[in-house]
Chains A and B, each alone.
Chain A
């Protein structure tokens, strides 16, 4: 019956819709005029709507960078919200064109879920947050604790591994979204909340008294967070890869949203000129306009600007660059050259 309904529907639609030609993601997005971007259901500093319904955040700004590159308009995005469990399904089913959502690159997601990852926009690791009142100073003291954990995430598996290898027991309180975790944790339904350290900082920043809670020193995993796309569209994959690289290269070269016009007209650095489309034809090779990267920097800024604006030390989230500093500053952010 199910299949019959589907086939009948599909058939009707095939007849109803004229444009059935297979198009690449880039053509789809350009025809639609909007980039469908899979983000989280809401994590402070990473993805959230403001009072006017505009989306903001670190991940959303990368969506906007992608839209600026592809459509020339950073506003032309649609946020498709997803939980840890639904994000890949939504992406693979075509509900989203690209995923920027606190998502860890792993073997099984890359290979098994058939995703393409395109570099790391945030080097993260899994941490633990506990109320100060608990008097715990190390994750090793958490034997027997109840732990709030989001389903469908890498952190769920890391948690099991960590407690197992340390011979400790825990009681998992599984939840779907960050907001639910927050409520449960504050209501005392779990002693500990564990997720990416960035997520912990973001969540902690939304507490009434953030100082009553500490993030324990142990980081128990590597969580390289990055954008993902579906298998099978190399051109689109290249675009997302180089959108991220463009923001990092711009920071390496000192190109900011403030000086990008000046740099484009007067820089002596050939790589900057190539990046901003004043020389060469890299835009055309990607299938984009020559000023694709210029549009990114002009509208959302370079990597450092995106970081500082959304989650940096001067925001309520207050994350230091740490591993996410440029490689020249002792961090890991490193872009292949624009050559």
Chain B
């Protein structure tokens, strides 16, 4: 090292690269850039830190540190705490976990629900992950999955039949959510194509359908499914309530998907379709190879948004007497042995929904990023 003022011992252009100043790299640099870049941001950061510091420790203490995991009743649970009610009593949820997961599904048959869930995972992976070897063949399985799962859950053909009104809890949420999501996408795309088609009858039918469904709240449709439909059926017949709900939820989501996809279709420059025409592609080929891939890419955020909304709306089935997790929770709170633990129940259900919905939204971000490499990357 040489003292200040001394000429540099390096010939011009030969000075080695110095590391960037500490203040602009690493943790310090990141913090300066992101947290303390202006007086206003300093204040916001401090406020945020203060807020988290005052919320998280008590929450963690309530939910984890002091919580009680084994007890037979609320009284026993609270008895185990220094001050009754000071912490969460997860023993309640633990004791009822199977009720929350399977509803009233017969205990001896619950392996069928577990198996369906495993099969569901295998069906989702090929859809979500495009680098899976032999993905093409998997799609046969994916297409067969709904029927396979339906058979497993409902029974018949060798399996003991289980009435769908015994379905409940998270399993019910998943059934409605997954069915609604997987069927509403194709129906919605078809409706969107119908609505933008040049055939007037088809177009008007699609517009009518979409506008009718969008003009009516889901709750009303569910009521129609649960009560009105019976007036149209011959007396004495009963058409499975869950089936009716699945149809209504799917139709409802389809109408919304249709509008989202129509937005996407309009975002594709007209020249694309015209170019396809001039290449002599048929309507379907043009749609499938040129227009839809681009339209769907633009629509991803809207589509996933609709899916998340649909997933959360499944809780509405509670109103027509189906016991989704919220319904189970509500009824459970009337059990005098446990009553009073509402916070635990609602937090538990909230976490479940959060995990599912957050997962969906992260996947959509991943997909957007992956597809956002320009038109060449479209396969």
What residues make up the interface of A, taking CB atoms closer than 8 Å to B? 1-2, 6-7, 9-10, 13-14, 17, 19-23, 28, 34, 36, 38, 40-53, 56, 78, 80-83, 86, 89-90, 92-95, 177-179, 182-183, 202, 205-208, 315-317
Contact = CB atoms under 8 A, between A and B. Distances in A.
Contacts of B328: 49
Contacts of B229: 6, 9-10
Interface string B321-335: 101000110111111
Interface stretch (B131-139, B175-183, B231-239): B231-239
B87 to A, nearest CB: 14
B330 A179 contact: yes
B336 A206 contact: yes
A18 to B, nearest CB: 9
Contacts of B233: 10, 13-14
Chain B interface: which size bin? Answer: 35 or more
A19 B236 contact: yes
A51 B104 CA distance: 11
A50 B336 CA distance: 9
Contacts of B321: 38, 80-82, 86, 90, 95
B319 A83 contact: yes
A5 B353 CA distance: 32
B220 to A, nearest CB: 10
A30 to B, nearest CB: 13
B330 A10 contact: no
B332 A90 contact: no
Contacts of A2: 212, 224
Contacts of A6: 224, 228-229, 232
Contact of A90 (B98, B226, B231, B238): B226
B90 to A, nearest CB: 14
A13 B237 contact: yes
B232 A9 contact: yes
Given A21-B236, A22-B236, A49 B319 contact: no
Contacts of B209: 1
Given A82-B321, A208-B340, A20 B234 contact: yes
Q: Tell me which of A42, A80, A178 has the highest count of chain B C-beta atoms within 10 A of its own C-beta.
A: A42
Interface of B: 78, 84-85, 95-96, 98-99, 103-104, 163, 165-166, 208-209, 212, 223-224, 226-239, 241, 247, 318-321, 323, 327-328, 330-337, 339-340, 342
Contact of A50 (B163, B227, B337): B337
Given A95-B226, A95-B241, A42 B234 contact: no
A82 B330 CA distance: 12
Contacts of B85: 208
A1 B209 CA distance: 7
A89 B220 CA distance: 13
Contacts of A95: 226-227, 230, 241, 320-321
Contact of A52 (B84, B99, B232): B99
Contacts of B228: 6, 93
Nearest to B319: A86
Contacts of B230: 93-95
Contact of B331 (A41, A45, A207): A41
A57 to B, nearest CB: 8
Contact of B333 (A7, A38, A179): A179
Q: Tell me which of A13, A206, A316, A317 has the highest count of chain B C-beta atoms within 10 A of its own C-beta.
A: A206
Contact of B327 (A1, A46, A78, A81): A81
B334 A17 contact: no
B342 A34 contact: no
9 contacts: A7-B232, A9-B232, A38-B321, A44-B334, A44-B335, A44-B336, A53-B104, A90-B320, A93-B230
Contacts of A34: 163
Contacts of A53: 98-99, 103-104
Nearest to B213: A1
Contacts of A182: 333, 342
Contacts of A47: 331, 334
A316 B336 contact: yes
A1 B231 contact: no
B352 to A, nearest CB: 18
B339 A206 contact: yes
Question: Which 4 A-B pairs have CB atoms at the shortest separation, nearest pair first?
Answer: A42-B334, A206-B339, A93-B227, A48-B334
Contacts of B239: 9, 13, 17
Contacts of A36: 165
Given A20-B237, A207-B340, A208-B85, A86 B320 contact: yes
Contacts of A317: 336
Nearest to B216: A2
A23 B212 CA distance: 35
A23 B236 contact: yes
Q: Tell me which of A40, A52, A81 has the highest count of chain B C-beta atoms within 10 A of its own C-beta.
A: A81
Nearest to A49: B331
Given A34-B163, A183-B342, A81 B226 contact: no
B214 to A, nearest CB: 12
A179 to B, nearest CB: 5
Q: Tell me which of B98, B163, B223, B239 has the highest count of chain A C-beta atoms within 10 A of its own C-beta.
A: B239
B334 A20 contact: no
A144 B208 CA distance: 49
Contacts of A40: 334
Nearest to B103: A53
A244 to B, nearest CB: 23
A48 B335 contact: yes
Given A51-B99, A90-B320, A208-B84, A22 B232 contact: no
B133 to A, nearest CB: 41
Contacts of A38: 321
Nearest to A5: B251
A7 B228 CA distance: 12
Nearest to A31: B236
